[in-house]
Structures are given as C-alpha cells and as structure tokens.
Amino acid sequence: MKNKIIIGIFAFALMFGFQGCRPEKKELGPKSSQLDGINGNWVLMKTDQVDVNVQLAFTESDTLLDVSEVLLNSTPMEMKFDKNTSLFDIKAGNGSEMFNSNTGAWKFDNNDYPSYVVLNDGTAQQMNVKLIRPVRLQDRYLILKINKFRGGKRTVCYHLWFERKN
C-alpha cells in the first residue's frame, strides 16, 4: 500500500513537471503589407528559363536553365511600382521586351494574399504576371513568372529575379 501511494505521488509530480517544460508560444507580429513590399524600384538581375513541354520532367524546376548571361548582356530593365498611384513604369533595358507595355496601372489579384500582379496599360489586353512568392518590405528580391504562348499553347516560361534598388 505504501508503495502505491509513493508511486501515485511520484506520477502526479512527474505529470506536473513535464507540463511546466512546454516552450513558450511565439508571436509572429503584425502581418506584412504586400503593397508596401512591392512598392519601389526593382532591377532585373537574373532570368531563368523553364521548358514546360519536356515529358520526363516531374516539376518545372527539373528543366530550369539560368539564361542571364544571354539575356542580360548589357543594361538590365528596371521596374517601378507605386502603391499610392497604383501605376507601374518599366525603364527599357534587357528583359523589358517580355512585357506587353512599359507603363500603366497595376494591382494584385488579392491585396492580402496575392498570387498575381495584374498589369494594365489601358487597352483591352492586360497581363497577369504570377508571383513566385510573396514580397514583403524586408525582402530583397521580387520573383515574377511570365509564360510565353505559341499557337495557344504554353511553350516556355521565365522566372524574372528583380533586386530591390532602393
């Protein structure tokens, strides 16, 4: 009987001992604004090409090829997003030919959780550019994905790596 009481007290103490060892919950802090994150000037610094029609590839990254040396052989393009006016401006340079227009209005498909940047030059044709990952104020890179089509079929896509200029 004495052993059962001692074991019970020990088990009770052990239960409370383990409960006190839980790590403290960490706070993530306030949610980052995607509008603040993309705001500013960006310079194209790297271009990856992905062949989307390779049959043996399991994922797009299996056919990814860095083509920066070929496409960015002189002055790279610069892109500016202004969150206050919702306007974008592309300064001509290597890579600017991938965009339909050099100036116009921009918006996210969803300001809280964006997947695309919608570029609109005021004509009926707008360009939806996929965000590879969200961009926050503290992020150094903006990565956009542009698909190219021929005959209604996607033939190649580019991952454009922009570096924050200011």
- Mean pLDDT (the chain) is 84
Phi-psi region of 114 (alpha: psi -120 to 50; beta: other; left: phi over 0): beta
- pLDDT, tens only, 76-96: 999 999 999 999 999 988 888
Residue 108 token pair: 């996210």
Higher pLDDT, 101 or 80: 80
Q: Is residue 10 part of a domain?
A: no
Q: Are 123 and 110 in contact (CB under 8 A)?
A: no
Residue pair 3/123 in contact (Cβ under 8 Å)? The answer is no
Q: How many helices (H) and strands (E) does the chain have?
A: 3, 9
The CATH number assigned to the domain holding 137 equals: 2.40.128
Residue 54 CB neighbours (<10 A)? 11
Identify whether 149 is part of a domain.
yes
What is the per-residue pLDDT across 12-58, written as a single tens digit (0 to 9) for each?
666 666 666 667 777 777 778 899 999 999 999 999 998 877 766 56
Residue 39 domain-assigned? yes
Range of the domain at 63: 34-164
Q: Is residue 4 part of a domain?
A: no
Domain-located, residue 22: no
Residue 132 lies in a domain: yes
Residue 108 has pLDDT above 90, yes or no: yes
Instruction: Give the total number of structural domains in the chain.
Output: 1
